[in-house]
Amino acid sequence: MLTFGIQAPSGLSTSFVLSRGSGDFSERDVERLEILQPLVSSIIQQRLLQESLAGSVSSSKHAGVIHGTGRFIHTMDQRANALIKKYLQPDSLHQIPDQFSYSLEAPIGTTREVPKALEKGARLLSRSKRENDSWSLLIWDENEFLSSEALSRYGFTGRQIEVIQWMAQGKTNPEIAVILSISYRTVQKHVENIYKQLGVETRLAAINTCREIVA
- Which range has the worst mean pLDDT, 12-26, 56-70, 103-117? 12-26
Interval 69-92 mean pLDDT: 85
What is the pLDDT of the chain when averaged over all its residues? 80
Q: Evaluate if residue 171 carries a pLDDT over 70.
A: yes
Given this structure, which CATH class describes domain 146-214?
mainly alpha
Higher-confidence residue of 12 and 52: namely 52
The stretch 26-43 carries a mean pLDDT of 71
Please check the confidence at residue 125 and state whether its pLDDT lies above 80. Answer: yes
Residue 100 confidence (pLDDT): 83
pTM over 0.75, yes/no: no
Q: How far apart are CA 110 and CA 122, in angstroms?
A: 19
CATH assignment, 60-143? 3.30.450
| Per-domain residue ranges of the chain | 2-54, 60-143, 146-214
pLDDT tier for residue 167 given thresholds of 50, 70 and 90: very high
User: Which residues are CB-neighbours of 131 under 8 A, at least 6 positions away?
Assistant: 9, 42, 45, 46, 49
Q: pLDDT above 90 covers what percent of the chain?
A: 22
> How far from 189 is each of 146, 174, 210, CA to CA, in Å?
20, 12, 18
Residue 199's pLDDT is 95
CB atoms within 10 A of CB 47: 15
